[in-house]
A = this chain, B = another copy of it.
Amino acid sequence: MESVKSQSYEVHIGELAEAALNQHIAKSGYSKIFVLVDENTKEHCLPFFKKIFDGSVDFILEIQSGEENKHIHTCLQLWEDLSNLDGDRKSLLINLGGGVLTDMGGFVASTFKRGIDFINIPTTLLSMVDASIGGKTGVDLGSLKNQIGVINQPQMVLIFPDFLKTLDPRQVKSGYAEMLKHGLIKDKAYWSSLTEKSNFTDASCIQKSIAIKNEVVLQDPTEKGLRKILNFGHTLGHAIESYCLDNHDKKTLLHGEAIAAGMILEGYLSHELQGLSKLSLDEIKKTFLTHFDKVDFTDDDIDAILQLLKYDKKNSHGNVNFVLLHSIGKAVTDIKVPEELFQKAFAYYKE
């Protein structure tokens, strides 16, 4: 499996990852090696890591899994741990976990003594194809996601697809939604091959998704232009995700489940405003509904979700700019959407 080259680091997949890790450690002369885990990766991934790692781990740092722990107080605990265990500027932090853990571990490493090296080993499909690529690190501020952070690149990203076998299939599906998104915004052939495959977790699919995200991020690391296309499905998807999270009578959706709905809705907007064909729109809807349960939106739900969207507006100068599709594989950014179309989009989703 070919490695994907980023600006300052490489993403190694499968059999190459083990060799890349051990070569890097052998030549780097780190003073101490810390591995960050949560209770799940400690049980399911750390034994594998220890088996393939030729170096010696000095300390295991453990945090509680879950978005609700992704805040500055967890960082403070980790900074204190690093300091109390004599971590210095030549120390290395290896982040072994999903997106919450790699985002937070990356931020802690980027700010401890003004920056120590870190390596990301994502253990969920979502973090393999999304969170671990692009250098975004950070934590939440209250209920606002990723408000505190920096953009800083890891030394390398290592992907072991075998970790996916330890996961709940629903979690794996959540990552699949992001992979389908990569096809929709950038590569029609990849979209087609993904929708036809029975096993989307093989190394070649993961590698392709990473390559697409990496290509976008390299051209626009700070999200001034092109990188925005990665937000396809996320504008409405985030509002849906937040709404379901805050309403205890709604089933909580995983990120991928929420953006799957978001992509159908924003696909409809693309059809209305950017000439996405009805055929392609129907194909998008059918594909997502094959893999993800249809969410049952009442009229009240829809009103509340659109209110959330307006609240988001306030935070970005009174405009919501959508990423829409011109066709499958071709995205356009900064499209304003007339309000009356939102109800029609939900009507199409419910059809």
Interface residues of A (CB under 8 A from B): 31, 72, 75-76, 79-80, 83, 86, 88, 90, 110-115, 136, 138, 141-142, 144, 146-152, 314-317
Contact = CB atoms under 8 A, between A and B. Distances in A.
14 contacts: A31-B317, A79-B147, A80-B142, A83-B147, A86-B315, A88-B315, A110-B150, A111-B138, A111-B148, A111-B149, A111-B150, A113-B149, A114-B150, A150-B152
Contacts of A151: 114-115
Nearest to A137: B114
Contacts of A315: 86, 88
B88 A114 contact: no
Contacts of A72: 72, 75-76
A111 B111 contact: yes
A79 B150 contact: no
Contacts of A114: 136, 138, 146, 149-151
Contacts of A110: 150
B88 A141 contact: no
Contacts of A144: 83
A14 to B, nearest CB: 31
A38 B262 CA distance: 45
A56 to B, nearest CB: 17
A23 to B, nearest CB: 22
A88 B317 CA distance: 9
A152 B90 CA distance: 20
A114 B137 CA distance: 8
A115 B107 CA distance: 13
A315 B75 CA distance: 21
Most buried by B among A111, A114, A115: A114
